[in-house]
Structure 1
Amino acid sequence: MTALVMLLVVTGCGSGSGGDQAATSDEAGRVAAPQAVDGAGPVGERPGPADQRGGAGAAADTRVDQRSIVYTGSIRVKVDDVEAAARAASDAATRAGGFVGGDQRRSSDADAVAELTLRVPADRFYPVVEELAGLGRQERRQIDTEDVTEETVDLDARIATQRARVESARRLLDRAESITDLISLENELARREADLASLEAKKRRLADLTALSTITVSLVGPDASAPDDEREIGFLAGLSGGWTVFLTSMTVLLTVLGAVLPWLLVLGVPLAALWWLNRRRRHRVRPEPAPVAPVGTPPPPGVGPRSSSVSEPPSVPGARSAP
């Protein structure tokens, strides 16, 4: 009898443990399935890939309309009125159910430029791009796509597994009997919850990218220069660029000259007049130097050479010189 009771207890415990494992597995399967089936899931989650898989880690649906795709595009349009075109682009994004994520403008008459970052729903991506191209003359368009279906499925599986680990740590924390076990389990639970929060943040970011596509539109005026990667090369392009630089340099030079000319008139003319008067006064006061005879020229008549010693009296004929 005692053995039978013990056997029933062991069987009951085993059944309970198996039931807990089944419940945990069933909970993980429910977490892995997307909540967007009934419209309560995060924005951008597509129900197709998750509905087709039986559990976490299963293969994703290969149908194109059920895959998670990130659309990004950029377009450059030359328009007559940049401000009006920018307002029209913002209205196009709003009508499509999106919003303006960034707006940078530079106004300088015909050389005005507006850089807009638009976020629109993925199913309205191409219609909005076509509407933007119709605002003027399209100069450049680039569209990139990235299939993130596998990454989405992997994140779903990892989130389900991490949630199960968090629940397991919480159950063990409720059964802790010592302070040491309590502290250790609390640390482990905090680490697992942090990992789960990181995975959920990645999933929300990925869902945002798949739900709302990004379009970068550049609206330029009729006289705007071409981008660096689209500029022409060759002799004529160099000649045109050199002539433009020459005209710009002359404009700058004339601007500087116009700014300096008033100072030259106010200060330069009086200083020049003072310098001229001072030079004229010095020229009048300076004595004229005596003419210098050229070397080898004989002295004029009546002028004999000067002796370097004291001159002697002329000699008398018949007189004797003193002893």
Structure 2
Amino acid sequence: MTLRTAGGRAGALTAIGLAALLLAGCGAADRSSGSADSAAAPPAKVAGGAPQAGEAAPGQAGAGAPDLRVDQRAIVYTGTMRVQVDDVEGAARRAVATVTAAGGFVGGDQRRSVDAAAQAELELRVPAARFTAIVDELAGYGRQQRREVRTQDVTEETVDLDARITTQRARVDSARKLLARATSVSELVSLESEVARREADLASLEAKKRRLADLTALSTITVTFVGRDASTADEEEDRTGFMVGLRGGWKVFLASMSVLLTVLGALLPWLLVFGVPVVVLVAVLRRRRRRPAPPVGPVGGGHPPTPTGPPPVPATRSAP
């Protein structure tokens, strides 16, 4: 009886030990899988949506700057260049054809066809993606004398305009809802004025947005084609001396004489119409003034003129 009882107790203890070992193994497996899942999963955010320590906010880099790529930014390109070519007219026609084929257009065209100094100045609007390629192609038409490319980043201004337009549209909608619920004439007039003012502000913001979109979509290239006889502006600036001064003074003298002759030619018809009669009239008046006065003759048929002097004093006789 005693042996059986002891054996039963030993079997029960053995079963309990085996069960404890199995439970310990399952718990370890669960802990290992849980740690692996937590390592693979991103760290959770604290209440209120704020990231935990060491976690970067969405849309931010390590230093907190916006993560915008270059191709996502709004950049306005503006270029100015001067190219010396053999045929100015041919180069201008070729440039216009190139820009038109690329999807742009000509914003301005000024040409001066002079044999000694032919010149054509074109303002070309080209797509921003083709800006650099077209600038290089225009420079290949001849000898490039000057090139200047400027860029302006308007990304922040564009984002600000988008936010302001969204807010202004919401204000216009709310004002229209209030206008629909107006009950008196004074309230109706006041709300109509407010709706008109908000719509005008919205139209102004949308116009600015369209202007920025046009500048970023189409870049501006101002190219000047000059002939072989034209000198560069840099060479003219570098030259100094007596001959340079004499040549500049002679050019100024010729320009002044040209202006003087132009003014004289404009005044000549007026001088012929009004000046000649005035000169003739003045000459006649002067000739009349120079004529001598006629002599004054006796008046009344030969009577002697009345003396105008004092009467003669009679002579007095002396006493004997």
Structure-2-length-normalised TM-score: 0.57
Structure 1: state its 5+ residue gaps: 1-51, 54-58, 257-323
Which is worse superposed, 67-76 or 238-247? Answer: 238-247
1:97-136 maps to which residues of 2 (within 5 A)? 97-136=103-142
Aligned to 1:166: 172
Match of 1:227 in 2: 233
Contact preservation (8 Å) 2:145, 2:232: no
Hey, which bits of structure 1, 4+ residues long, moved more than 4 A? 243-250
Q: Residues 102-122 of structure 1, C-alpha deviation per residue, up to 9 Å, x if partnerless?
A: 000001113101000000000
* Residues 248-283 of structure 1: per-residue CA shift (max 9 Å, x gap): 979x99xx9xxxxxxxxxxxxxxxxxxxxxxxxxxx
Secondary structure of the residue that 1:187 maps to in structure 2?
helix
Aligned to 1:75: 81
User: Which SS does the other structure have where 1:62 is aligned?
Assistant: coil
AA partner of residue 243 (structure 2): L
Q: State the 1:233 CA deviation.
A: 3.1
- Distance in 1, Cα, partners of 2:220 & 2:150: 10
Name the SS for the 1:104 alignment partner: strand
After superposition, what is the alpha-carbon deviation per residue over 1:47-92, rounded to whole angstroms, capped at 9, x for unaligned? xxxxx98xxxxx8652111100000000000011100000011111
The residue type equivalent to 2:131 in the other structure is F
Cα distance in 1, alignment partners of residues 199 and 179 from structure 2: 14
CA 1:120 to 1:228, structure 2 compared with 1: closer, same or farther past 3 Å?
same
The Cα shift of 1:243 comes to 5.1
Q: Which amino acid aligns with 1:209?
A: L
Give the Cα separation in 2 of the matches to 1:188 and 1:158: 18
Give the share of equivalent positions with the same residue, in percent.
66
CA RMSD of aligned residues (A): 2.7
Aligned pair in 2 of structure 1 residues 183, 160: CA closer, same or farther (>3 Å)? Answer: same
Matched, 1:140 2:162: no
How far apart are 1:231 and its partner, in Å?
2.1
Q: Which digits, 9 at most, give the CA deviation of each residue in 1:154-185, with x for residues without a partner?
A: 00000000000000000000000000110000
Q: Distance in 1 between matches of 2:179 and 2:153?
A: 41
**Which has the greater radius of gyration?**
2
Which residue of the partner structure matches residue 208 of structure 1? 214
| CA distance 1:62–1:155, shift in 2 (3 Å) | same
Inter-CA distance 220–241: structure 2 relative to 1 (3 Å threshold): farther
Question: Aligned to 2:184, which of 178, 191, 195?
Answer: 178
* TM-score normalised by the chain length of structure 1: 0.56
Count of residues in correspondence between the two structures: 195
Distance 1:184 1:228, change over 3 A: farther
- Judged with a 3 Å threshold, the aligned counterparts in structure 2 of structure 1 residues 242 and 202 are, in CA distance, closer, same or farther, namely same
Read off the aligned partner of 1:239 and give its amino acid letter. Answer: M
